[in-house]
Structure 1
């Protein structure tokens, strides 16, 4: 059933005090920047989240901080600050801030400088560096929410890779795609053939395009199995998880192979940052299509063109057998679809089908949570007593007809 205009706005808008943005700000840790992007005493990096601008930096001793972009003194950008001696020094008047946001020097103030600095009003943000990502909590209060200890956050560096790209569309379009199983065999048919090879289990998705979906609610969101019939009384089950508010934890293409977590975080109402975390909990990741990235902050590549040339779609390549004409990366194929939906997708005139159950559940989970927040409650999916991110299991496999797909998972 299509959304109303009011529900579509409630679902997608995050700026200027919008309820969804305020819920996310208060109840969730946000990925801010890949760890590899920050260098000790290096240039600060602009991070835009929920319509506001911040700077992230790594100080001399390796600790990281996220601050408001504008200096609390005369409000110029700290992107131009000198990063030195364990703090950011504004080049306008020399005020210096540490990673907690505190002003520790105000050299142009006459009098008791230390006492003056204590009374400068600043915003302080909780920061953690886990799993190759610097995370920030932008909420108010002393007690941050439970950190999402996802399957990759405690792995050694050689067992994961992190890349991200800013995409000029609303964040929910990316989140929906991470749970849309039926698009994989169509949009990513050629990419799957190139990267997986004909013997990979993932190829089953290109042969049975209309999976039957079964769902199970979980304390963090839900998991679901996409079930595809195979010859010889077998079926292929692909179990993925949606973790509030934006994580799609995708099963490995084969046993003990690398898994992926896709997430799309809101930069503002019409921009999101797409994150790709490729990881292998069993062994070093090695070189993969995901880890072979030239730029952790701008990869996978955006479509190379504009609407005037179908966003750079290569029709000659399509005539030679490529399914989409976007050979750059599977992420590029997704980005082209999001951009084709417009800056904020109009969900009021959609005509959905049986394959869209997982997408509908994403919307339901987000809308239920934001309505709980608007009612003065902590969202259930953000503060469930059984919430344990470390127990999330996404897995795929071939099973005999009649067997329960839950036999593939270790989680109860």
Structure 2
């Protein structure tokens, strides 16, 4: 059954007091900017989250601050501020804010300047730097939510890479794609071959396009096994995890190989930031298609053309065997599909099939959390007593037909 228009609005909207946006703001830490993007005393970086603009900066002592973009005095952008002596100094009148967001200097105020600064109201946001990312909590109160201690969080820097890019579509389209296993063998057929090589197990996905699914609820969301039959009475199982509200943890291509976490944070109703954390808990990551990025704030590349140009699809390359004509990156192929769906995908018109169970579960969990929040409750999956983000480990492998795929996960 297609989604109702009311549910589609509740699922996708995050601005101007929308319940989904307010639920995320209060109950989840939000990735804001890659750590590598911020340099001590360097230029501030504009960060837009849930329809509101902020400025991120690294102070002289290395601490990171995320503050409201507009100076509390005369409301000009702190993007132009000087970053000096452990604070941002507005170039309009010289007011200075430290990394906590507090005003510490107001040089044009006569009298007791320190006392005056204490009375200035500012947005002060809790910030953490973990896993190669700067995280921010935008909620109200003194106690932040549980921090997402995902498996990549405390690895050495050489074991992971972090990249991201802003995409002009709603965030849920991308979250759904991270859990849509059946699109991989079609949309990513050529990029899978390029990155995996012809003998890699992942190539099975390009042959068996209709996997069977088995699901398990978890305290952080759910995990599922996509099962594809192979010759000789064997089954290729890929066990992936969805972690609320937006993390898709994808199994490595082979044992001891790198894992990827795809997540998409809402910039506003019609824009999201796509994140790619590529990591290997077993050894240094080295050069990969993910780590070899020229720009951690703008990678992978967006499709190079307009809708009228089929988003820059290369039909000549398709004639030579490429499945999609978007050769730039696996992410570029996904972005083209999101753009093709429109700024906010209309789910009232879709016609789903047996392969869409994981996508439906993503929607159901997000809607349930929004409704719990609207009822004045803490969403169950945001603060379950059993919540342990570190257990969201995804694996893949071959098992005997009829064997339980959980034998792959139990050994991890």
Calculate the TM-score normalised by the size of structure 1. Answer: 0.99
Q: Which residue number in structure 1 is paired with residue 146 of structure 2?
A: 146
Please give the residue correspondences for 1:238-387 in structure 2 after superposition, counting only pairs within 5 Å: 238-387=238-387
Q: Which residue number in structure 2 is paired with residue 87 of structure 1?
A: 87
DSSP-derived class of the 2:129 partner: strand
Deviation digits for residues 304-341 of structure 1 (CA, Å, limit 9, x no counterpart) = 00011100000000000000000000000000000000
Aligned residues: 412
Q: In the alignment, does 2:206 pair up with 1:206?
A: yes
Q: Which residue number in structure 2 is paired with residue 174 of structure 1?
A: 174
RMSD (Å) for aligned C-alpha atoms: 0.8
Indicate conservation of the 8 Å contact 1:293/1:299, yes or no: yes
Indicate conservation of the 8 Å contact 1:393/1:410, yes or no: no
Structure 1, unpaired ranges of 5+: none
| C-alpha distance in structure 2 between counterparts of 1:107 and 1:201, whole Å | 64
Indicate conservation of the 8 Å contact 1:56/1:65, yes or no: yes
Please give the residue correspondences for 1:114-133 in structure 2 after superposition, counting only pairs within 5 Å: 114-133=114-133
Alpha-carbon offset, residue 241 of structure 1: 0.2
| C-alpha distance in structure 1 between counterparts of 2:19 and 2:219, whole Å | 22
Q: Which residue number in structure 1 is paired with residue 20 of structure 2?
A: 20
Deviation digits for residues 150-188 of structure 1 (CA, Å, limit 9, x no counterpart) = 111110000000000000000000000000000000000
| C-alpha distance in structure 1 between counterparts of 2:218 and 2:24, whole Å | 19
Alpha-carbon offset, residue 410 of structure 1: 3.3
DSSP-derived class of the 2:349 partner: coil
Indicate conservation of the 8 Å contact 1:28/1:382, yes or no: yes
| C-alpha distance in structure 2 between counterparts of 1:306 and 1:395, whole Å | 37
Q: Which residue number in structure 2 is paired with residue 187 of structure 1?
A: 187
Distance 1:285 1:33, change over 3 A: same
DSSP-derived class of the 2:173 partner: helix
Alpha-carbon offset, residue 198 of structure 1: 1.1
| C-alpha distance in structure 2 between counterparts of 1:411 and 1:362, whole Å | 27
Query: Moved runs in structure 1, 4+ residues, more than 2 A?
Result: none
Alpha-carbon offset, residue 411 of structure 1: 8.2
Structure 2, unpaired ranges of 5+: none
| C-alpha distance in structure 2 between counterparts of 1:161 and 1:358, whole Å | 27
Deviation digits for residues 209-254 of structure 1 (CA, Å, limit 9, x no counterpart) = 0000000000000000000000000000000000000000000000
| C-alpha distance in structure 2 between counterparts of 1:339 and 1:410, whole Å | 39
Calculate the TM-score normalised by the size of structure 2. Answer: 0.99
Q: Which residue number in structure 2 is paired with residue 39 of structure 1?
A: 39
| C-alpha distance in structure 2 between counterparts of 1:173 and 1:391, whole Å | 26
Deviation digits for residues 355-387 of structure 1 (CA, Å, limit 9, x no counterpart) = 000000000000001000000000000010000
DSSP-derived class of the 1:291 partner: coil
| C-alpha distance in structure 2 between counterparts of 1:298 and 1:52, whole Å | 20
Alpha-carbon offset, residue 278 of structure 1: 0.2
Alpha-carbon offset, residue 391 of structure 1: 1.3
| C-alpha distance in structure 1 between counterparts of 2:408 and 2:399, whole Å | 9
Q: In the alignment, does 2:58 pair up with 1:63?
A: no
| C-alpha distance in structure 2 between counterparts of 1:81 and 1:132, whole Å | 25
